[in-house]
Structure 1
C-alpha cells in the first residue's frame, strides 16, 4: 500500500466523522457537528490517502492528540510530540496498522527531529497497544475518566 499525506479538507473531514467502528471500538465513533468538523480542519490534522486518493486514515499532532482530562493527571507535562491517529474502519484489524503507523511516525521524526513521540490510547484497545509496542512504544502513564481508562505510551529513541 502506497501512502501519501494530504492537507485535511472539508470532504475528508465529513467522511472521517461518518466512520463507524464495531464494538468495542465504537468508542471512537464521532458525530458530525460544527465543532468536530472545525477541529479536523484546524491544521493540526492530516489525511492519509493511497495512490488512488482513497482516504485510508488521518493523524493529528499537538493538543488535539491529547485527552483533555489527562492534563489534570499530569500526563502531558513532558516535552513530547503528541500523536493521534485513526484508520478507516474498513481497514482496521487486517494487518494494515504497522505500515500506516510507521508512515506517520516517519513524518513526525523528519519534522520534529529529536523530540520523542507520545500517544494516548484507551486501555481496552489491546489491538492498538500491541501494535504500538511492536513499533517501539512503552507505557508511560495512566489516567481515567468516569467511563474509560487511558494510557500514554512514548517512543523515546533518538533520531
Structure 2
C-alpha cells in the first residue's frame, strides 16, 4: 500500500539528490537545484510524493505537461504521467506495483479517458512495466535537443470511456 501526498520541500530535496547508475543516470536532476525545486513544488505541476506503509519516500509521480518530452505528438487527449522510483529500489521487479498504484491514484483524481507515458527508448524495464499494465506503443520519436529516442505509450481507460 502506498500513500500519496502533494510533494513538500523536504521530499523534493530528497528526489533532487537521487542518483541513478549509468544508463539510467539520464534521470538524475542536473539543473541548478533552485530552479528545479521551484518547478517541483509549483502546484500546477502536480508532483506527488509516494510513501510506503512506514511513511518512507519510495517514489514520486507527476501528471500533465511535466510528463511530456519535446518532439512527441501529444495532440490526443490523455493524462500524461511522469514517475520516478528511488534508485535503490529499482530493478527489483516491483515497477508494475508502483505504476499500478499511480494509475489508481490518477484515476481517482482526474478520471481521464486515457493515460499516456513517454519513456526513453533504451529503458526496456519501464517499457515492459507499462505494457504489462495495458499500455500500447503509439509512436517513436527523437528529442531534437540531443537526438535521444523516446517512445510514447497510451492506455485508453475503457471503464471510463463514457465520461
Q: TM-score, normalised by structure 1?
A: 0.92
Residue 86, structure 1, aligned to residue 84, structure 2: yes
Aligned twin of 2:62: 60
Aligned twin of 2:129: 131
Aligned twin of 2:103: 105
Aligned twin of 1:29: 28
Give, in whole Å, the separation in 2 of the partners of 1:76 and 1:111. Answer: 21
SS at match of 1:11: helix
RMSD: 1.2
Query: How far does the alpha carbon of each residue in 1:12-49 deviate from its partner, in whole angstroms, 9 at most, with x for none?
Result: 00100100111100110113521111111112100000
In the TM superposition, residue 95 of structure 1 has moved relative to its aligned partner by: 1.6
Which has the higher mean CA deviation after the structures are superposed, 142-151 or 122-131? 142-151
Q: List runs of 5+ in structure 1 lacking aligned partners.
A: none
Moved over 6 A (4+): none
In the TM superposition, residue 114 of structure 1 has moved relative to its aligned partner by: 4.4
Give, in whole Å, the separation in 2 of the partners of 1:4 and 1:147. Answer: 37
Aligned twin of 1:7: 6
Q: List runs of 5+ in structure 2 lacking aligned partners.
A: none
* Cα separation, partners in 2 of 1:5 and 1:142, compared to 1, 3 Å: same
